[in-house]
Chain A
Amino acid sequence: MTKFNAWNVIKNGLNGQSYWTRQWRDPEPKNSYDVVIIGGGLHGLATAYYLAKNHNIKNVAVLEKGWIGGGNAGRNTTIVRSNYMMPGNHEFYEHSLKLWENLSHELNYNVMFSQRAHVSLFHSPGAKDSVSRIYNIMRLHGTDAELWDLKTLKKKIPHLNYHNSRFPILGAAVQKRAGNARHDAVAWGYARAADTLGVDILQNCEVTGFTRKNGNIESIQTSRGIIKGKKIGFAVAGNTSVLWQMAELGNLPIESHKLQAFVSEAVKPLLDQVVVYGVGGAHFYISQSDKGSMVFGGDLDWYKSYAQRGNLPMVQDVAEAAMAIFPSLGRIRLLRHWAGVMDMTMDGSFFICKTPISNLYLNAGWNYGGFKASPASGWYFADLIANESPHNYVQNHNLERFEKGINIDERGAGPDPKLHG
């Protein structure tokens, strides 16, 4: 793998770009691995990378049923932030944000991480109090957070709709270190970096069954043959329940729902921040990609589904929210919209935990927050697999928390998965 640096760019520039090698190998599956990660999304790839990097476990395979970057890694709105308040969550997401800040150097791959500020508008005094509480908790834990009054907001983003009488904009809660990144680059960067450390990335390798021995999973049946793993990790958000039942483990506190995202035609620079119309208003978030497209999304499709395609009422709903907050978008044309299937959990928080099978580990339940979490998710999942006990930050992110009554419910929405958006 050729390293990206100034010397290689110049050298290849003079030689017709002929010395670049492929980004990662396409190996044949070996018979057995120390660790097999099922799911070649951002979380699976990051886990494999940190297993090799932090724990020196390099005999690792990542099984991907499709191709790298074809699942939810390519179906998100690329927002990175750490504005969480529950114990465990804020430390975890703050660590994730810190990993993002150095990720391009870490992976030798430009993930185009842009800390352009995440601006959550609020629309009522109650919403202001509520969001102030969350952002104060963030400050107490050392995360950057601030409130912008209307005057500051109007100066920073002059073209929002400040005349909306139903949901008047009163100000915004802002995290300046938040922003977004290039989703494909993150997947490719982790795949390339993991591969360089010796990880086998096996694409078009769908898991079809498990063989159990003495209570453990001995081998995995796949579309590319039988693969043995001493330890096995699930990182297949969206399809976690399917794999869980394939391993005969019963039910999970998860429902699969789909979330749509939208991309418009490219326009000249229009929006320098990630703007969220979300606290005491509708649910809508928008940013502008480096290419110029407006990238935005809204609510779930409101019914359980494994279909990777969205419904039309939500397209209308999102368009209405866009017009309510950003009327200058009225004549912009939509280029594409798509849906990703997500694990929506019963309390809106994730799982990085052991399972009833002693050599199986679970990484699942990312709700709306999978993209931003991926570096820390890989970090702590690798830590769990290597050390066989969870780090303090994720000690309650397990399946037993519901029976114990220690749900990690950021929104306080209760046990209805679709309400945790």
Chain B
Amino acid sequence: MIRINCPYCGERDHSEFSYGGDATINYPSLDALEKEWTEAIFFRKNIKGFQFETWHHSNGCRMWLVVERSTVTHEIKSVKPCHPDLQKVVENNK
């Protein structure tokens, strides 16, 4: 079991969460070339090691999180809210 320290709820089992995917994708502008959209939607770095990824606390606070996790050992380095403004709120409340 992976334990994810949700910034809103505290440390919980990963079975409360749903895995999203790569958190570092930058979506291009709406009028960008098809090639750029293809790259953003279909192509992945698929990192072996630490990566930033999204998780949804679907059986908890239902907030989206950015987790820095190793895809080899499953060790987690950091958990933050996805939305940058909420990151600030969480930081200020510490």
User: What does the 1/0 interface line of A216-240 toward B look like (CB < 8 Å)?
Assistant: 0000000000000000000000010
Whether the Cβ atoms of A306 and B44 lie closer than 8 Å is no
Is the Cβ of B34 less than 8 Å from the Cβ of A403? yes
From residue 37 to 94 of chain B, which have CB atoms closer than 8 A to chain A?
Answer: 38-39, 41-46, 48, 51, 53, 55, 71-74
Closest Cβ of chain A to B51, distance in Å, is 8
Interface of B (DSSP majority class): mixed
In the assembled complex, which residues on chain B have CB atoms less than 8 Å from the CB atom of A252? Answer: 43-44, 46
Chain B residues near A130: list those with CB within 8 A: none
Could you say which of B1, B42, B55 contacts A346, with CB atoms under 8 Å apart? B42
B35 — which chain A residues lie within 8 A by C-beta?
403
Contact, CB under 8 Å: B46 / A251? yes
Q: Number of B residues whose C-beta is below 8 Å from A?
A: 26
Tell me whether A253 and B42 are in contact (CB under 8 A).
yes
CB proximity to A under 8 Å, residues B6-39: 13-15, 18-19, 21, 34-35, 38-39
Q: A57-84 CB contact bits vs B (8 Å, 1 = yes)?
A: 0000000000000000000000000000
**Set of chain A residues within 8 Å of B34, measured between Cβ atoms:** 403
Partner of A302 from the list B18, B44, B45, B74 (CB cut-off 8 Å) is B18
Q: Which of B41, B46, B48, B51 has the most CB of A within 10 A?
A: B46
Binds B, one of A101-109, A268-276, A307-315: A307-315
Q: Which residues of A contact B15 (CB under 8 A)?
A: 313
Q: Contact: B45 with A251, CB < 8 Å? A: yes
B72/A255 in contact, CB under 8 A: no
Query: Please, which residue of chain A has its CB at the minimum distance from the CB of B1?
Result: A312
Q: How far is the CB of B42 from chain A (nearest CB, A)?
A: 4
Closest to A254 in B: B46
Q: Which residue of B lies closest to A401 (CB)?
A: B42
- How far in angstroms is the closest Cβ of chain B from A251? 4
Please tell me which one of the listed residues A239, A250, A254, A311 contacts residue B2 in the complex, with CB atoms under 8 A apart. A311
| Distance between Cα atoms of A256 and B71 in the complex (Å) | 9
**Which residues on the B side are within 8 Å of A303 (C-beta)?**
2, 14, 19, 53, 55
Contacts of B41 in A (CB 8 A): 346, 402, 415
Residue of B nearest to A258 (CB): B71
A415 to B14, CA, bound (A): 23
**A255 and B46 form a contact (CB under 8 A):** yes
When C-beta atoms are compared, the residue in chain A nearest to B67 turns out to be A303
Contact pick for B71, options A245, A253, A305, A416, CB 8 Å: A305
In the complex, the answer to whether B44 meets A253 with C-beta atoms within 8 Å is yes
Which of B1, B19, B55 has the most chain A CB atoms inside 10 A of its CB? B19
Contact A402 B42 (CB under 8 A): yes
Residues in B with CB closer than 8 Å to A306 are 48, 71-72
Q: Is A241 part of the binding interface, using a Cβ–Cβ cutoff of 8 Å? A: yes
Beta-carbon nearest neighbor of B43 in chain A: A251
In the complex, which residue of chain A has the Cβ closest to the Cβ of B46?
Answer: A241
Shortest A311–chain B CB gap in Å is: 6
Name A241's contact: one of B42, B45, B55 (CB within 8 Å). B45
**Bound complex: CA of A303 vs CA of B1, how far in Å?**
12
CB distance from A348 to the nearest CB of B (A): 12
Closest Cβ–Cβ distance, residue A198 to chain B (whole Å) = 34
A253 to B43, CA, bound (A): 4
A346 to B41 alpha-carbon distance, docked (Å): 9
Give me the 5 closest cross-chain CB pairs, A-B, nearest first: A241-B46, A303-B19, A251-B43, A313-B15, A402-B42
User: Which residues of A pack against B, CB within 8 Å?
Assistant: 239, 241-242, 245, 250-256, 302-307, 311-313, 346, 402-403, 415-418
Q: List 18 A-B contacts (CB under 8 A).
A: A241-B48, A242-B48, A245-B45, A253-B44, A255-B44, A255-B46, A304-B21, A304-B51, A305-B72, A305-B74, A306-B72, A311-B1, A313-B15, A402-B38, A402-B41, A415-B41, A415-B42, A416-B21
Residues of B within 8 A of A (CB): 1-2, 13-15, 18-19, 21, 34-35, 38-39, 41-46, 48, 51, 53, 55, 71-74
**Apart from A252-B44, A254-B44, A416-B21, 10 more pairs, CB < 8 Å:** A245-B45, A251-B39, A251-B45, A255-B44, A302-B19, A304-B51, A307-B71, A307-B72, A311-B2, A403-B34
